[in-house]
């Protein structure tokens, strides 16, 4: 009886299984059109992946790993043989053990373990063919009649992310579908090839997610990379599109290579490239390799996997936002979405095929790589020591968060380490001696992610060739503004310091909150929004045995009577939420310095902040500020279209932010004068990057620095050209993002919370003359220290120039910030300066 029941059940399951498989539809059957003849909205792509998963339960596991800012689901589909899918978690664990990354320290199985291939589609939303291709890929892998792919999946787990950037993709696709006619129009001048601002390339906050792998400032990256680091695939492909007249591009990549990339990683790129080439040759399709797309900046979808021990690659198809369903190429052919999707589909299968054929070698090299990292480290520097200098604890915590997000191991030393060491002193740019004390951070190169450690920490990243598509300097001590040393010695921390929970005292009179970093700024944002009036000190003072520096926030009952006795609970709760130390004071009479009633202590309320945005404004820069307010300091901001600037009643706002861009209203007297009147009446302007040059043109008190050889400086609108819609096809000349040491006047509120220097990321050559009637807060002098690449002609010009300044106009102020201090929101050390400009300057 029992036997019969079992047999029956088995027969029933078999029947269901074959029935279920019979239901699996191709993309064309499911969508009702051939892939590439329409753009598929994201929800329909999700439906198709759900359909495949529901009808291939033995070979597909679908997982939602997150949601986007606009609420769209982020998916991963794991596709493999039924045997592998059944033990997916133990395959993952084994893979982590191969990389020496598991906590259980169990020995991995190398022989017979499957290789992991991860395919990431559509990171740039308007490079939309690859998500279409993802549907073809998953169908080819699950179609029961496909014996080729079935063979590959025996030793391969394929992880498919059908769309990394659904918000950007739908912005593009919804727009395109709304403007295309009954038939597509291949003429490039037709409106369907002219995507409106800000374009679908970026995510909700106008962020380029293909620059965000390391920094993870964006929600999509944070959720995805957590998964990525749990899997650590051997092969990763990032799908893109480039100009419509280009052929296809695949690995091997171009120089410059970062020297953390191993010979095996280079070699296998060639193996993959040759397999792709075989299929392209068979079809007579054109392609190129070894040009344009370099492997240097660590935060791309190819370098990040490479620096994590995998074979990371970018594949580029001709296409992008201008191509639509079909567009005429220069040489007369029509580039169609059908072909674009087919090409990406072809390289997808080819990559899986060649990885499967080389699975054993891929795994043994992978194992070798991680074993070598743990036993030998990577590079000349074996230890990076980040000093716990006074006032740096918030930046230290932010740096620690970044390392955690990237799976990089570090220790905070609980005690002093015996002895002294020699190493490269980041702060003076040459070797020096140092010691390791309690609270210092120690990062060793002897760890699985040694390549990433080297790429992120080394003072001067080395490249073989100087032409790259991106910034050349991102060394973390400069990004975070930390004193640090890089040492060839192997140094261990003296015990590991545990984090401390702050206990805040009660007060009857008032509190002081030192202005020491972004955590303070976030708390100030919350206090202001609750309607609390704050004060800040222009001069240092001492009270109750504590010393407070300029910018310290003082919270008193005066001006806050409305809160009655509830005031202190509100303040304490906010400080507790951020684990911030409050100092209680008992009197307005200070031991040293100016009393709280002095004119040297200024009160300020929550400013009403507006940001100019829209067409003619650099979308990256505007998006950065938008995201900064909403995601970083959680403070309200009004976005105003720059084209409406002539109609705005400026009196509705206290602070106006102008990101890099072109502002017509500054060139018209009838709109410029009311704007200047608003400033004179107390309005505060924060001009960023090329907006500074715009104000210079409009007769404000700042002048561009004249080129010494007399040639005209054409960099004024550089941002628009460089960062709006550029693919990695633009080499930015002689200043591809380098780090310069800036002298700061830290007695001015714009530089409160800083030492007397700042490391700026210089993205272009724009510099200004010292202001005669203004505050020259940040200047470069002769021989400023440099990291990264600077063209030799430009080097001469980099002296005696203003980068950050403040001009008083009547009761208002204009803050000039010529560099991108919020760069991709990862330039941590610039963020406080931006908060100074918004909250303190002019009060």
CB atoms within 10 A of CB 291: 10
User: Minimal distance in Å, beta carbon 238 to Zn ion?
Assistant: 8
Of the pair 306, 739, the CB lying nearest Zn ion is at: 306
The angle that helices 263-283 and 337-357 make with each other, rounded to 10 degrees, is 130
CA distance 161 to 173: 18
**Peptide bond before 130: cis, by omega within 30 degrees of 0?**
no
User: Minimal distance in Å, beta carbon 186 to Zn ion?
Assistant: 22
- Region of 92-100, 240-248, 520-528, 610-618 interacting with Zn ion (CB under 5 A): 240-248
User: Minimal distance in Å, beta carbon 73 to Zn ion?
Assistant: 22
Q: Which two tokens stand for residue 102?
A: 């598991």
Of the pair 127, 339, the CB lying nearest Zn ion is at: 127
Of the pair 97, 201, the CB lying nearest Zn ion is at: 201
- Region of 239-247, 349-357, 396-404, 537-545 interacting with Zn ion (CB under 5 A): 239-247
Query: What's 652's DSSP letter?
Result: G
Residues 6+ apart with CB under 8 A from 266: 252, 257
Tell me if 238 sits within 8 A of 160, measured CB to CB. no
- Region of 37-45, 117-125, 519-527, 692-700 interacting with Zn ion (CB under 5 A): 117-125
Of the pair 589, 730, the CB lying nearest Zn ion is at: 730
* Torsion angles phi and psi, residue 56, rounded to 5: -135, 55
User: Minimal distance in Å, beta carbon 210 to Zn ion?
Assistant: 6
Of the pair 471, 532, the CB lying nearest Zn ion is at: 471
User: Minimal distance in Å, beta carbon 141 to Zn ion?
Assistant: 24
What is the full DSSP assignment across 669-691?
HHHHHHHHHHHHTT-EEEEETHH
Of the pair 320, 481, the CB lying nearest Zn ion is at: 320
Q: Any bridge partners for residue 787, and if so which?
A: 739
- Based on the shown chain and the rule CB under 5 A, indicate whether residue 240 belongs to the binding site for Zn ion: yes
- Region of 237-245, 453-461, 569-577, 625-633 interacting with Zn ion (CB under 5 A): 237-245
User: Minimal distance in Å, beta carbon 677 to Zn ion?
Assistant: 45
Chain residues 54-93 in contact with Zn ion, contact rule CB under 5 A: none
Of the pair 173, 402, the CB lying nearest Zn ion is at: 173
DSSP run (H or E) holding 336: strand 334-336
* C-alpha Rg value of the chain to the nearest Å: 29
Q: Any bridge partners for residue 63, and if so which?
A: 76
Of the pair 345, 629, the CB lying nearest Zn ion is at: 345
CA distance 156 to 410: 33
C-alpha 617 chain-centroid distance: 20
User: Minimal distance in Å, beta carbon 690 to Zn ion?
Assistant: 24
Of the pair 199, 309, the CB lying nearest Zn ion is at: 199
Q: What number of residues does the chain have? A: 843
User: Minimal distance in Å, beta carbon 299 to Zn ion?
Assistant: 14
Tell me the CA distances in angstroms from 520 to 354, 393, 582, 724, one per residue in order: 52, 11, 10, 33
Of the pair 192, 727, the CB lying nearest Zn ion is at: 727
CA distance 748 to 842: 11
**In this chain, which residue has its C-beta nearest to Zn ion?**
240
User: Minimal distance in Å, beta carbon 127 to Zn ion?
Assistant: 5
Cβ burial of 147 (10 Å; 0-12, 13-18, 19+) is exposed
Of the pair 124, 224, the CB lying nearest Zn ion is at: 124
- Region of 42-50, 116-124, 670-678, 751-759 interacting with Zn ion (CB under 5 A): 116-124
Tell me if 456 sits within 8 A of 476, measured CB to CB. yes
Q: Which two tokens stand for residue 782?
A: 């002769």
CA angle centred on 42, ends 38 and 47, rounded to 5°: 95
Alpha carbons within 13 A on the beta-carbon side of 469: 23
What is the full DSSP assignment across 242-280?
E-TT--EE-SSPEEEEBTTS-HHHHHHHHHHHHHHHHHH
User: Minimal distance in Å, beta carbon 727 to Zn ion?
Assistant: 6
Of the pair 345, 485, the CB lying nearest Zn ion is at: 345
Residue with tokens 């080499």: 731
User: Minimal distance in Å, beta carbon 517 to Zn ion?
Assistant: 34
- Based on the shown chain and the rule CB under 5 A, indicate whether residue 169 belongs to the binding site for Zn ion: no
Of the pair 212, 365, the CB lying nearest Zn ion is at: 212
- Region of 236-244, 253-261, 507-515, 733-741 interacting with Zn ion (CB under 5 A): 236-244
Burial 468-480 (b: 16+ CB within 10 A, else e): bbbbbbbbbbbbb
Tell me if 248 sits within 8 A of 316, measured CB to CB. yes
CA angle centred on 596, ends 591 and 598, rounded to 5°: 105
Of the pair 652, 729, the CB lying nearest Zn ion is at: 729
CB atoms within 10 A of CB 266: 16
Tell me if 150 sits within 8 A of 21, measured CB to CB. no
What is the full DSSP assignment across 472-539?
S---HHHHHT--EEEESS----EEEPPP----PPP-SSEEEE---SHHHHHHHHHHHHTT--EEEESS
- Region of 57-65, 82-90, 233-241, 343-351 interacting with Zn ion (CB under 5 A): 233-241
User: Minimal distance in Å, beta carbon 162 to Zn ion?
Assistant: 16
Tell me if 505 sits within 8 A of 582, measured CB to CB. yes
Chain residues 118-157 in contact with Zn ion, contact rule CB under 5 A: 124, 127
CA distance 609 to 75: 36
Residue with tokens 């939309």: 128
User: Minimal distance in Å, beta carbon 126 to Zn ion?
Assistant: 9
How many residues lie near Zn ion (CB under 5 A)?
3
User: Minimal distance in Å, beta carbon 725 to Zn ion?
Assistant: 11
Of the pair 344, 831, the CB lying nearest Zn ion is at: 344
Tell me the CA distances in angstroms from 226 to 152, 229, 284, 405, 452, one per residue in order: 27, 5, 40, 7, 16
Tell me if 536 sits within 8 A of 604, measured CB to CB. yes
User: Minimal distance in Å, beta carbon 124 to Zn ion?
Assistant: 4
User: Minimal distance in Å, beta carbon 208 to Zn ion?
Assistant: 8
- Based on the shown chain and the rule CB under 5 A, indicate whether residue 211 belongs to the binding site for Zn ion: no
Q: Which two tokens stand for residue 541?
A: 């003072």
- Region of 182-190, 234-242, 291-299, 507-515 interacting with Zn ion (CB under 5 A): 234-242
- Region of 172-180, 238-246, 677-685, 804-812 interacting with Zn ion (CB under 5 A): 238-246
What does the CA dihedral 534, 537, 540, 546 come to, rounded to 10 degrees? -20
Tell me if 385 sits within 8 A of 491, measured CB to CB. yes
Of the pair 165, 185, the CB lying nearest Zn ion is at: 165
Of the pair 38, 124, the CB lying nearest Zn ion is at: 124
The contact mask relative to Zn ion for 408-437 (x = CB under 5 A, - = no) is ------------------------------
User: Minimal distance in Å, beta carbon 316 to Zn ion?
Assistant: 7
Chain residues 656-695 in contact with Zn ion, contact rule CB under 5 A: none
Query: What's 579's DSSP letter?
Result: T
User: Minimal distance in Å, beta carbon 242 to Zn ion?
Assistant: 7
Of the pair 293, 515, the CB lying nearest Zn ion is at: 293
Q: Which positions touch Zn ion (CB under 5 A)?
A: 124, 127, 240
């Amino acid at each position: 009886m029992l036997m019969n029941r079992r047999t029956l059940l088995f027969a029933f399951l078999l029947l269901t299984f074959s029935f279920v498989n019979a239901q699996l539809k191709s993309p064309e059957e499911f969508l009702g059109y051939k892939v590439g003849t329409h753009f598929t909205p994201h929800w329909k792509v999700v439906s198709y992946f759900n359909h495949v998963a529901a009808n291939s339960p033995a070979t597909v596991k679908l997982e939602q790993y997150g949601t986007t800012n606009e609420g769209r689901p982020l998916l991963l589909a794991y596709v493999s043989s039924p045997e592998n899918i059944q033990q997916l978690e133990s395959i993952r664990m084994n893979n982590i053990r191969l990389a020496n990354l598991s906590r259980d320290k169990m020995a991995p199985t190398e022989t017979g373990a499957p290789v992991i291939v991860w395919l990431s589609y559509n990171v740039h939303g308007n490079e939309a063919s690859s998500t279409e291709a993802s549907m073809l890929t998953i169908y080819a892998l699950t179609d029961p009649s496909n014996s080729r792919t079935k063979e590959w999946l025996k030793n391969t787990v394929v992880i498919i992310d059908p769309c990394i950037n659904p918000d950007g993709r739908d912005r593009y696709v919804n727009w395109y579908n709304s403007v295309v006619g009954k038939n597509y129009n291949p003429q490039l001048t037709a409106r369907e090839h002219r995507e409106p601002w800000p374009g679908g390339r970026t995510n909700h906050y106008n962020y380029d997610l293909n620059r965000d792998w390391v920094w993870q400032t964006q929600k999509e990256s944070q959720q995805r990379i957590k998964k990525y680091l749990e899997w650590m695939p051997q092969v990763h492909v990032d799908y893109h599109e480039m100009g419509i007249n280009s052929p296809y591009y695949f690995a091997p990549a171009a120089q410059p290579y970062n020297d953390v990339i191993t010979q095996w990683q280079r070699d296998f790129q060639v193996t993959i490239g040759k397999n792709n080439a075989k299929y392209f040759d068979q079809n007579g399709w054109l392609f190129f390799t070894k040009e344009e797309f370099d492997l240097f900046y660590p935060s791309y979808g190819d370098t990040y996997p490479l620096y994590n021990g995998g074979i990371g690659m970018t594949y580029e198809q001709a296409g992008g936002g201008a191509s639509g369903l079909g567009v005429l190429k220069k040489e007369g052919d029509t580039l169609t979405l059908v072909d674009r999707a087919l090409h990406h589909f072809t390289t997808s299968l080819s990559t899986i095929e060649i990885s499967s054929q080389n699975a054993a070698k891929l795994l043994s090299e992978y194992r070798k790589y991680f074993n070598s990292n743990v036993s030998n480290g990577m590079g000349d520097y074996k230890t990076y020591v980040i000093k716990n200098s006074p006032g740096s604890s918030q930046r230290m915590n932010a740096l620690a968060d970044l390392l955690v997000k990237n799976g990089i191991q570090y220790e905070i030393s609980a005690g002093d380490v015996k002895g002294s060491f020699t190493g490269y002193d980041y702060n003076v740019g040459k070797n020096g001696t140092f010691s390791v004390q309690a609270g210092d951070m120690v990062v060793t190169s002897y760890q699985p992610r040694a390549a990433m450690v080297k790429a992120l920490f080394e003072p001067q990243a080395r490249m073989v060739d100087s032409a790259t598509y991106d910034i050349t300097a991102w060394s973390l001590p400069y990004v975070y503004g930390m004193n640090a040393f890089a040492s060839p010695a192997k140094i261990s921390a003296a015990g590991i310091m545990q984090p401390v929970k702050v206990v805040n005292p009660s007060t009857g009179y008032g509190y002081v909150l030192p202005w020491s970093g972004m955590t303070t700024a976030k708390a100030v944002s919350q206090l202001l929004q609750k309607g609390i009036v704050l004060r800040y000190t222009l001069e240092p003072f001492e009270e109750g045995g504590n010393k407070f520096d300029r910018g310290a926030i003082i919270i008193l009952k005066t001006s806050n009577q409305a809160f009655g006795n509830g005031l202190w609970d509100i303040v304490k709760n906010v400080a507790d939420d951020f684990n911030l130390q409050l100092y209680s004071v008992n009197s307005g009479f200070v031991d040293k310095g100016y009393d709280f009633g002095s004119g040297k202590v200024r009160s300020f309320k929550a400013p009403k902040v507006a940001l100019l945005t829209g067409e003619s404004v650099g979308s990256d820069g505007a998006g950065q500020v938008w995201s900064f307010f909403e995601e970083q300091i959680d403070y309200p901001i009004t976005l105003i279209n720059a084209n409406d600037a002539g109609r705005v009643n400026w009196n509705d706002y206290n602070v106006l932010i102008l990101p890099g861009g072109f502002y017509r209203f500054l060139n018209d007297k009838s709109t410029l004068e009311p704007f200047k009147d608003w400033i004179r009446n107390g309005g505060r302007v924060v001009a960023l990057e090329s907006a500074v040059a715009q104000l210079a043109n409009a007769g404000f008190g700042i002048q561009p620095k004249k080129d010494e050889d007399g040639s005209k400086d054409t960099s004024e609108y550089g941002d628009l050209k460089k960062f709006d819609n550029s693919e990695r096809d633009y080499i930015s000349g002689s200043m591809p993002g380098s780090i310069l040491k800036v002298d700061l006047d830290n007695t001015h509120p714009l530089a409160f919370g800083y030492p007397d220097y700042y490391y700026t990321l210089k993205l272009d050559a724009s510099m200004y003359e010292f202001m005669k009637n203004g505050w020259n807060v940040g200047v470069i002098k002769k021989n400023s220290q440099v990291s990264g690449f600077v063209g030799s002609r430009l080097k001469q010009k980099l002296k005696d120039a203003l980068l950050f300044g403040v001009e008083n106009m009547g009761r208002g102020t204009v803050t000039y910030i010529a560099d991108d201090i919020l760069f991709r929101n990862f330039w941590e050390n610039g963020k406080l300066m931006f908060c100074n400009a918004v909250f303190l300057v002019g009060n």
